[in-house]
Structure formats: structure tokens, C-alpha cells
Structure 1
Amino acid sequence: MAIEVNGKSIETTGSGYLTDPNAWDEDIAKVIADAEGIELTEQHWDVIKYLRDEYLNNNQNQPMERQLLKDMGKLWGTKPTSKDLYKLFPLAPTKQGTKIAGLPEVMRKGGY
């Protein structure tokens, strides 16, 4: 499969994840988010950038939700709950967020 962004064809897996994380840019994120029914806010971008940084600069780490909550709390200066993150990414923050961030699909089962 592929998505069209700015006249370029970007390859994706059958479930819509980019096959090459390095092909990602913010325009691609917007197209994926739109397909997921998400209008990106600054908090969405914080999560997306965090997930990309963890993957690309921390040995391909794909953090569990608990770690995401802790690190977003530090960044936002509040203590977000799982409910807060699910308002941003209704189909699971670490999975749907990862998809929009252009990273490989998280294959683990749920987990907090």
C-alpha cells in the first residue's frame, strides 16, 4: 500500500504504518492523522515527537503507556491520566501515536 503526500507516494504496510521511518515528515503525519480522524494539537505533536525521539535516538525504544504518561507529565507540568492520552489517541496512545509518528507497528500486547 501507499499514501500520496505532496505528489510523492509513501509506502505503508497493510495496516497503514510507514515502511521507512526516515520517509516521515509533518505533512505525512497530518495525512495519517486525518485518515485516523484526529486533528493534531500541540499535545499530539508532543507525543509524536517524543515517540520518534525514543525510537530513533534510544535504540528503537517503543515506550509503554506508563512511561509515556510519566514523560508527558514532565513535559506538560501536569500529571496526565490514561484517559487524557486516550482522548488524544482513541485507539491506544502508543499504537495510534506510533502510526502517526511514522514508526513501525508496536507488536506487543497492550500493557501499562
Structure 2
Amino acid sequence: MSYEVNGKTIAATANGYLENLEDWNEDVAKVIAEAEKVTLTEKSWDVINYLRDEYLNNGGNQPNDRNIVKAMSEKWGEKIDAKALYELFPMQPSKQATKIAGLPETRRKGGY
């Protein structure tokens, strides 16, 4: 599988995850989001940036849905639940947002 972004072919796995972290940028994220039928909002970008920061700056950490809920509750200054994340990323936030963020596929099962 691959994505076409600004005239460049970006290699991806059969499940749509980027093969190379270095290929990711916001334009790539928008193309992946479109393929996933996800509309990116400011809150979506908060989740994506959080996941990238955790992975790149915290030893490859890939937070589960519960940890994302906690982090976004703090960032947005309001108590949220998993439903709020599923409104942004309906096909399981920790996995779908990870794909859009250009990170490797997680092998973890379930959101919690």
C-alpha cells in the first residue's frame, strides 16, 4: 500500500501505517486522515501531536485510549471520556490516530 502526497509516493504497510517515520508531515497526515474518513480538527491535531511526542521523545511509548483520555483532559482543561476520542477517531483512537500520526502499528489489544 502507499499514499500519494504532493506528487510523491509514500510507502505504507498493508494496514496503512507508514513504513518510514521520516516520511510523515502534516500533508501526509491529511491524506491518511482522508483515506480513513476522519476530519481533522484542532483537537484531532492535539491527539496526533501528543502521540508523536510520546513515541519520539518517550522511548517509543504508544499510549492506550485511557492514557490519551487522561492527557487530553489535562490539555483541554475539561474532563472527557473515551466517547470524546471516538468522535474524533471512530475506528479506535489509539490505533487510528497512531496511523494518522505516521507511527508504527501498535500490537496492543483493546483500548484499555
The unaligned stretches of length 5 or more in structure 1 are none
Task: Tell me which amino acid in the other structure corresponds to 2:49.
Answer: K
Corresponding pairs, count: 112
Question: Are 1:11 and 2:6 counterparts?
Answer: no
Aligned ranges 1:20-99 → 2 under 5 Å: 20-99=20-99
The unaligned stretches of length 5 or more in structure 2 are none
Q: For the residues of structure 1 that align with 2:13 and 2:23, how far apart are their CA atoms? A: 13
Quote how far apart the aligned CAs of 1:91 are.
0.4
Q: For the residues of structure 1 that align with 2:55 and 2:67, how far apart are their CA atoms? A: 13
Quote how far apart the aligned CAs of 1:111 are.
3.8
1:61-95 per-residue CA deviation (whole Å, 9 max, x = no partner) reads 00111111111011000011011100110000100
Q: For the residues of structure 2 that align with 1:111 and 1:60, how far apart are their CA atoms? A: 18
1:7-42 per-residue CA deviation (whole Å, 9 max, x = no partner) reads 111000001000011210000000000011111000
Secondary structure of 2:3 counterpart: strand
The alignment yields a C-alpha RMSD, in angstroms, of: 0.7
Q: For the residues of structure 1 that align with 2:21 and 2:67, how far apart are their CA atoms? A: 22
Say if 2:94 and 2:111, in contact at 8 Å, map to a contact too.
no
Moved over 4 A (4+): none
TM-score, scaled relative to structure 1:
0.97
Secondary structure of 2:13 counterpart: coil
Q: For the residues of structure 2 that align with 1:111 and 1:51, how far apart are their CA atoms? A: 14
Q: For the residues of structure 2 that align with 1:93 and 1:111, how far apart are their CA atoms? A: 8
Secondary structure of 1:17 counterpart: coil
Say if 2:85 and 2:93, in contact at 8 Å, map to a contact too.
yes
TM-score, scaled relative to structure 2:
0.97
